[in-house]
Structure 1
Amino acid sequence: MAARRPARGRRVGHGRRRGVRIAPLRAVVIPPIPSTEPLLALLEGVLDGRESAILPVPSDVRSAELLTSSLGIGEDIDDDVAVVVSTSGTTGVPKGAMLTARALIASASATHDRLSGPGTWLLALSAHHVAGLQVLVRSILAGTVPVAVNPSFELDELPAAIAELGSGPRYASLVAVQLAKALGDPAATAALAELDAVMIGGGPLPATIGEAASAAGIRVVRTYGMSETAGGCVYDGVPLDGVKVRLDDGRVVLGGETLAKGYRNPTVPDPFSESGWFRTDDVGAVDDSGVLRILGRIDDAIGTGGLTVLPQVVEAALATHPAIADCAVFGVTDGRLGQRVTAAVVLTAGAEAPTVADLRTHVARTLDSTAAPREVHVVTELPRRGIGKLDRKELADRFDTGA
């Protein structure tokens, strides 16, 4: 049976600090496979106010130095801030979402309420990212110890790690590329199917991967959120309890109990400028049943021939082509159109590369022909950053000839 911790975490339910002066922000190095017990103890102390605020950083020295120099390590921080989580969005410039204990606990508690209650977690995401951090917070509230594996786990590690979770509700938090990897191995797939839920965040889940997971009996929960909202705050399109969502001209704006206090190094314009709300860079739509669907990011939009194309919508259409295992859509310079829609595709095993004309016809069946790619590149894999987010900028830089 999985190890369970004494229910000391009950004290963190207050979600505030008592008698703690403004203190310097501390960096905590998180290795790929952390020792979970000491990390849980540290984080529990931070949440209940016995320890001052921390900035989790990766063990990579260069990345850690960039974050510590950018986010004010050693400088004072307000005493209601528990954890600063680094986030660069699509700009590459480090920012720090200042999360209070109250926000972190509200997020973890709402997750338990939405799922099958508190349980034991597989820690397969780096804990310096908010998704991995929240696995630890949920574990503290549940009084359990997560089982940690390297985020780039070998397939034969997964069944043993899941077996180690023991009985009771069991969960994993993964990104789409990890799920796709696991689906390539029958034993890993079967192990994931034993879990009460597999949460997928960090970006969209391609339809083909979601369908394959469902067919294998894996209960996938699609999560949407970010460091600024203490992690996923909308599950399968429905906000968690205490989370507010509205659309401003299609832009998703989030509010509620899980919201960060702001940035450690505020930006201009400040997306936290409206009290109680965070203005995202995502474009969304809400259907008649109130389910939120994310259409793409404003800063990823492609301006082509005077029209705007959202890459994520085109990727969803391309993903239904039988020859395409994975894809990314981005814009490159075009002297006539401003930008032309370009696709990088990973082929399914044994498939022949489709022509541009073939893919344009395929996309035009469900979208306006303006959205169809005018240029296609076959690649062995797509570049990703952080916890698996697609790096469109790297692709644009690679294939943009300026013509």
Structure 2
Amino acid sequence: MPELVAAVLAGRSGVDLLFDCWDRGDAVMPVDPRLPPPAVERLLAAMRPHRFIDGSGAVQALPDPLPVEPGDALVMVTSGSTGDPKGVVHTHHSVEASARATTEALGVDRERDRWLCCLPLAHVAGLSVVLRARWASVPCEVLHTFDAMEVMAAARERGATLTTLVPTALGRIDPSAFRRIVVGGAAPPAALPPNAVVSYGMTETGSAVAYDGRPLAGVEIRIVDGEIQLRGPMLLRAYRDGHDPRTPDGWFPTDDAGAWDDDGRLVVHGRRGDLIISGGENVWPAEVERVLGEHPGVSEVAVLGRPDPEWGQRVVAIVVPTDLSRPPRLEELRAAVKEHLPAYAAPRELELVPSLPRSSLGKVIRSRLPAGSGPGAN
């Protein structure tokens, strides 16, 4: 019977370990090598694999494992930034479907292209690079971690033509060195290089299901009461606890809010729980963040709602200034937002911070943002 092997995966040796486990018929749960031992112990207790292979290659049999189904390939653990982590079960069929769809959408040339993976293998954004390269029989270089100089050397000296990056990493390289760059993991910058595509997807979809707002082959997208719902062969089989989040007819409710624009492209507003209702008006943080992110005085920004006795919720901008000695003022940020969005979307509070709490893929961890001190802070 197949078993679930939890394994620390990093670099090319981690990829080889994954495929060795698959050759034996087992499923794999990638473990991030950056996790401290207590976090690894909690993860193993929650996901209940059969064995654990640590970074040195030592194998430990674990008690009371949960079984896996024949055909299961992966258990990918979500980041847990908005709640308890979940183990997302993918089959070899869903892995192949994702690899096929993304490869076709990018027009991968098996003779000329070469993938570079520089994101963690414990996250679907990184591992999917390796898996689509394997499916397409395309060479793939795997870095242990993102390093701007190594990324550029991979492109200019070793022939890498394709890669996936988070927005913060994109800003640290010369993107023209690659043929195509997939950007995901966090909100993209307003100004993108012409060879970049913005991906939409999540752990439950195994990788992207849309590039630049267009569904990939085999993907169906619908909007139900403002929520994005997905259907396609790359969806998860279930969660590790056995729960299947799909509807009886196969649709996966994402809890992401979205809409179709006039060109028929999907616009993702963000998690439905992030919606700010201020004075009875709906304000999506991502829209405000995009505008404020273009302000020269703003290095990084997160927008959220805080309780307000007059407005119900007030819009708050948490800003990392470009220049700590000359931070932006609330009034100028409000004016910038009003040039592009309705006045009710302009922030009523500004809080300056040295950095934003982010996950390893660059997503802002909203639960760790400062609680605030009251209206009018600046």
Q: Same fold (TM over 0.5)?
A: yes
Asked if 1:301 is matched to 2:275, the reply is yes
Q: Which runs of 5+ in 1 are unaligned?
A: 1-20, 183-187
The alignment's TM-score, normalised by the length of structure 1, stands at 0.81
Corresponding residue for 2:190? 207
Q: Which runs of 5+ in 2 are unaligned?
A: 51-65
The alignment's TM-score, normalised by the length of structure 2, stands at 0.86
Deviations 1:210-258 (A, max 9, x none): 2xx34xxxx1111000010011110111111111111001110011111
Corresponding residue for 2:6? 27
Pick from 120, 134, 139 the counterpart of residue 140 of structure 1.
134
Q: Which amino acid is the alignment partner of residue 381 of structure 1?
A: S
- What is the Cα deviation at residue 351 of structure 1? 8.2
Corresponding residue for 2:83? 92
- What is the Cα deviation at residue 161 of structure 1? 2.4
Corresponding residue for 1:158? 151
Corresponding residue for 2:339? 365
Deviations 1:296-328 (A, max 9, x none): 210111233333321111112222323223211
Whole-Å separation in 2 of the counterparts to 1:286 and 1:385: 28
> Does structure 2 retain, via aligned residues, the 8 Å contact 1:271–1:280?
no
Please state whether the residue corresponding to 2:74 is helix, strand or coil: strand
Please state whether the residue corresponding to 1:225 is helix, strand or coil: strand
Corresponding residue for 1:230? 206
- What is the Cα deviation at residue 139 of structure 1? 2.1
* CA gap 1:63/1:193 in 2 versus in 1, 3 angstroms: farther
> Does structure 1 retain, via aligned residues, the 8 Å contact 2:72–2:89?
yes
Percent of aligned pairs with the same amino acid: 37
Whole-Å separation in 2 of the counterparts to 1:402 and 1:349: 25
* CA gap 1:164/1:82 in 2 versus in 1, 3 angstroms: farther
Asked if 1:126 is matched to 2:120, the reply is yes
* CA gap 1:279/1:266 in 2 versus in 1, 3 angstroms: farther
Aligned length: 355
Say which is worse superposed, 340-349 or 99-108, in terms of deviation.
Answer: 340-349
Please state whether the residue corresponding to 1:204 is helix, strand or coil: coil
Please state whether the residue corresponding to 1:234 is helix, strand or coil: strand
- Root mean square deviation of aligned Cα: 2.3
Whole-Å separation in 1 of the counterparts to 2:3 and 2:102: 31
Corresponding residue for 1:401? 373
Please state whether the residue corresponding to 2:306 is helix, strand or coil: strand
Stretches of 4+ aligned residues off by more than 4 angstroms: none
> Does structure 1 retain, via aligned residues, the 8 Å contact 2:79–2:359?
no
> Does structure 2 retain, via aligned residues, the 8 Å contact 1:286–1:292?
yes
Say which is worse superposed, 158-167 or 373-382, in terms of deviation.
Answer: 158-167
Q: How does 1:260-299 map to 2 (within 5 A)?
A: 260-265=236-241, 271-299=245-273
Corresponding residue for 2:222? 246
Corresponding residue for 2:55? none
Q: How does 1:107-118 map to 2 (within 5 A)?
A: 107-117=98-108, 118=110
Please state whether the residue corresponding to 1:134 is helix, strand or coil: helix
Please state whether the residue corresponding to 1:166 is helix, strand or coil: coil
